[in-house]
Structures are given as structure tokens and as C-alpha cells.
Amino acid sequence: MIEADRSRWFVTTEWLAAHLDAPDVVVVDASWYLPTMNRDGAAEYAAAHIPGAVHFDLDKVKDETNPLPHMLPSPEAFASAVRKLGIGDGMRIVVYDGIGLFSAPRVWWTFRVFGARDVCILEGGFPKWRAEGRPVSDEAVVRQPRHFTARMDHGMVRDVEDVKRALASGSAQVVDARPADRFRGEAPEPRPGLSSGHMPGALNVPFAAIVADGKLRSPESLAETFAAAGVDPARPVITTCGSGVSAAILWLALESMGHNRLGLYDGSWTEWASRDDTEIVSGPA
């Protein structure tokens, strides 16, 4: 693994404040929460958001034909959704969320899957923006529709069969972002009816272990955390989690460390644990 420039994927609150009115910059509120968090991303956006920001709803911009939560939509559906948000080709997209660094990486990753070349994350997110006393707005934002050319990079996405093959052959490491107690099968899943536990051979790097104050931890801390979990930086990685959201945090961390042989299991544990042709084990990795 080579060292990467993590600033490639982040902008600071200072930078955004200085470029908020730039015509080629669009700010995206990507706030989304687990059911157990008892928070509503759309309602919070309506109450207060960074001035000019549009709201990207993971539960609406999705594959409507798939019963699994917020699975990637088709390129055509994605392009239609972001055009209506006023996001077009050649724009710089800055994504943030209401926790700091939780759902923003999933939306950042989604834009990249569909070909956005200049998309980054607000470091520290909305909590840092507000803590610094920067302006917020409750005004509805309507931008002029823009043309967005969506070309899906299938190499960034993995399905259940890809994960099965990786686990059976060892061709890639499967790294799970869920909390350790859920991974070990000691705590329930937030979605009713799903068993906890993990895929046989999967490794566990809880996303909370690599995030602090809405930011990724230092490169040294990230390297130590992944190494302690048994992740080999020289081998490919498939990231996974509960429903494909926090898996993108692992992706972000690994890519910031220079890892570029990555895939994300879109169905994640929600799909794996709901099938009758997959194996679930308990205990530590």
C-alpha cells in the first residue's frame, strides 16, 4: 500500500465557507440515520442546513425494484435524480452529514460509482460547521436542473456471489464495519428479523474505531487499527457493513491510506443474513 494524499477527498469548513457562492460548487446534505438512532435526515435538513445545500436522500435515490435498503439505482435513475437537484457534469460536489462522518462517505462513494470526478467530503461535517458559528438556513433550495452523465463503474461494487467467491478462495479480504458485538453475534441487529454474527473468514474493523470528532483518525492510527484486525494492506479488500453505508467509511479510510484494490458489498449484512444459501458464524474473527 502506498501513502495517499487524504486531502484529495476532503475540504475544510474554511475552504467551503470561502467557496460557498462559487458557481461550480454544489453542497450536498447526505444526512441519513439508522432506525435505532431516532433521527430524521430529511426533517433535520428542512430545519437547518448549510446555505444552498441540496438534500440527497439515500432512501429515495435507490433501486426501487430491490427490497433491500438503499441499493444502488440504475445509472439512468441516478442521473435523473441528481439532475433535478441541480448537480451536473464538471461541478465540484461537497458532501456532508449531520453526524460528522457517517452517511456522507456512502453518498461520496455513490457519486464516484456513477462517474463524478470531483466529489469530496466536508471534514467534520455539519457539527463542525455549526460549532464554528457558520451560517445555516431553513430555506428550501431549488437549483436549475443540470445535465449529469452517469456511467457506472461496476468494478467498485460487489454482490453476494462475489463475496462468496472471495471468502472461499481468499482472493480478497472481506472487512466488516459493524460494531464488534454485532459482528461476534452478541448483540442484535438494528433491523428486525436479522441474525447477528458474521461471514466465515470476515475481518472486523468497526467504523467507530477509525473516526473521531467527525474525521478520520490519523494515518498512523488507521494503519494500526487495520493491522490489529488482520487486514493485509497488500491484498484486495471488499468492505461490508449492515446495509452498505458504513462500509463506505472503511473504503474512504483505506483509500486515504493508498489502498486502491477495493470493492463494496452493496447488499451487505442485510442481504447476507436474509438468505438461506449463506453461512453465519459467531465469535471473534
Question: Catalytic residue numbers?
Answer: 241
Say how far apart CA 201 and CA 174 lie, in whole Å.
Answer: 8
Q: CB of 156 within 8 A of CB of 263?
A: yes
Torsion sign, CA atoms 131, 133, 135, 138: positive
Name the pairing type of β-strands 157-158 and 262-265.
parallel
Least Cα distance to 93 among 83, 108, 106 occurs for: 108
Grid coordinates standing for 115?
462517474
Grid coordinates standing for 37?
438512532
Map grid coordinates 458464524 to a residue. Answer: 281
C-alpha distance from residue 198 to each of 48, 158, 172, 242 (Å)? 38, 17, 16, 11
C-alpha distance from residue 64 to each of 115, 253, 259, 269 (Å)? 21, 29, 32, 19
β-bridge mates for residue 28, sequence order: 54, 95
DSSP summary character for residue 68 = S
